[in-house]
Structure 1
Amino acid sequence: MTRNPNMREAILSAAELLFSTRGFNAVSIRDIALEAGANPGSITYHFKSKDGLLLEIYKRHCGPMNKRRIELLVAATRVRDVQDRLEAIVRAYVQPAFSSSSDLAGGGARFTRLRAVMSAEGNAVVGRIIAEIFDDTTNAFIEAIEQSLPHLPRTAIVWRSQFLLGALYYTLVNPERVTRLSRGEADGADMAEAIEQLVAATVASLQAPDVNHLPGVANATAAPAKAAPRKNARTQASAK
């Protein structure tokens, strides 16, 4: 069988559409073939399996995005001022995500929805793909932040990076909520403004103290002490 690049693209687009609206588990190879106007054998030929198809979707979107992130990160780490460097590092992570979500065909925005759906689904296959695609890049950013904020434990940086990821997803997937809740004073579709707000919020989050060093936190998070057993009335009477 001769590989047909047009059919390959049709299959990728069909799978991306279905995964973003119905999730990974609910979509079959037959569903994808029907949407793409292909036969199931074409999917097996081009991608081996549904897992391989999802991996290829991630690669075609995230390869360029991760490449751009690393390029910007390299430049950011050369900034001398610590405050400016931290802001540049965060911006290097955030900005390419918005660029990849705004391609003319709409595939970037659709892929952002797909990522949100995949994360919510908690599928083991999806987890392995996300680790393969993102972990190296994410670790590079965590290490750059560690060097800029050496007093902050890595665990705190990981937590706060995770919060950024959640905010990034929701900002890209549901911008109209910003417009509605601000009563029209803010435009949730204004990507330049969204980038600035995310960068400012994340930098402030990273600069906040480590919660484990705040007064009272250790006591609040410790396991509660067991109360002493209460004596019943008969025991109390016999003790008198």
Structure 2
Amino acid sequence: MPVPMPQRQTSMREAILEAAEDLFSRNGFRAVSMREIAQASGANLGSISYHFGSKDGLLRAIYERHSGPMNRRRGELLSEAQRIRDPDDRLAAIVRAFILPSLSESEGGVGGGARFARLRAVVMAERHEEAQKIIAETFNPINLAFLDALQACLPRLSRADIVWRTHFLLGAVSYTLINPWRVARLSDGVADGEDTEEALTQIVRAAVAAFRAPAGTDAAS
């Protein structure tokens, strides 16, 4: 049985994680130094090395902090969705299960909120080799489970079609979390981009329609 860390060490570890996540999400992973993280968290460089080993280790800890609860919740919702008999309702439920944990309203919620979404977007754009490895290890198993579930609902689509449409779905979720104010601006205030329930409804509706669109060979014939 693991021995719990003393409260002071736990608090320092959390302070370092909070500071690093905030700095990475605003400035990018490459641009932020360990010294800046130490200054923002009130820790010394030795404490960061003690808890995380390196900046890569710190990034991995941030991903594990949010992705563990997110992926567990996704798995629970996916199991519930797969028990739905009607194929159309099952497809909508699978899409909803995939994105609901990401659309967390707060930074402390299951999905990590907009800050973790910004961090993921920045890290993916930087194409840092170790960061890409962390992302793959963190999300690939649950992503593959969803791809299999979607394929079972949509046997006429190729795996490539399923992957592309899921890729676009993830982009929609990330952009919605990162730029919610754009919805209000473009709609002259009629729509509220920070309304999580409405965002969920709209994304699921659009994604289900996209998944039901003809396959590439069907559209060309």
TM (normalized to structure 2)?
Answer: 0.92
1:142 equivalent among 142, 147, 150: 147
2:165 equivalent among 160, 165, 176: 160
Q: Which amino acid aligns with 1:123?
A: H
Q: Residues 12 and 57 of structure 1 are in contact (CA less than 8 Å); yes or no, is this contact kept in structure 2? A: yes
The structure with more radius of gyration: 1
Q: 1:88: Cα distance to partner?
A: 0.3
After TM superposition, list the pairs within 5 Å mapping 1:18-29 onto structure 2.
18-29=23-34
Q: 1:213: Cα distance to partner?
A: 3.3
2:95 equivalent among 82, 90, 93: 90
* Equivalent position of 2:70 in the other structure: 65
- 4+ long deviations beyond 2 Å: 212-216
Q: Residues 20 and 111 of structure 1 are in contact (CA less than 8 Å); yes or no, is this contact kept in structure 2? A: yes
Q: 1:103: Cα distance to partner?
A: 4.0
Cα deviations by residue, 1:19-41 (Å, 9 ceiling, x for unpaired): 01110111111111111111111
* Equivalent position of 1:30 in the other structure: 35
* Equivalent position of 1:126 in the other structure: 131
Q: Which amino acid aligns with 1:207?
A: R
**May I ask how many residue pairs the two structures share in their alignment?**
214
1:17 equivalent among 16, 22, 25: 22
Q: Residues 183 and 191 of structure 2 are in contact (CA less than 8 Å); yes or no, is this contact kept in structure 1? A: yes
* Equivalent position of 1:102 in the other structure: 106
Q: 1:214: Cα distance to partner?
A: 2.4
Q: Residues 61 and 108 of structure 1 are in contact (CA less than 8 Å); yes or no, is this contact kept in structure 2? A: no
- Cα RMSD (Å) of the superposition? 1.7
Q: Which amino acid aligns with 2:45?
A: P
Q: Which runs of 5+ in 1 are unaligned?
A: 217-240
* Equivalent position of 1:54 in the other structure: 59
Please say if 1:182 is aligned against 2:187: yes
* Equivalent position of 1:173 in the other structure: 178
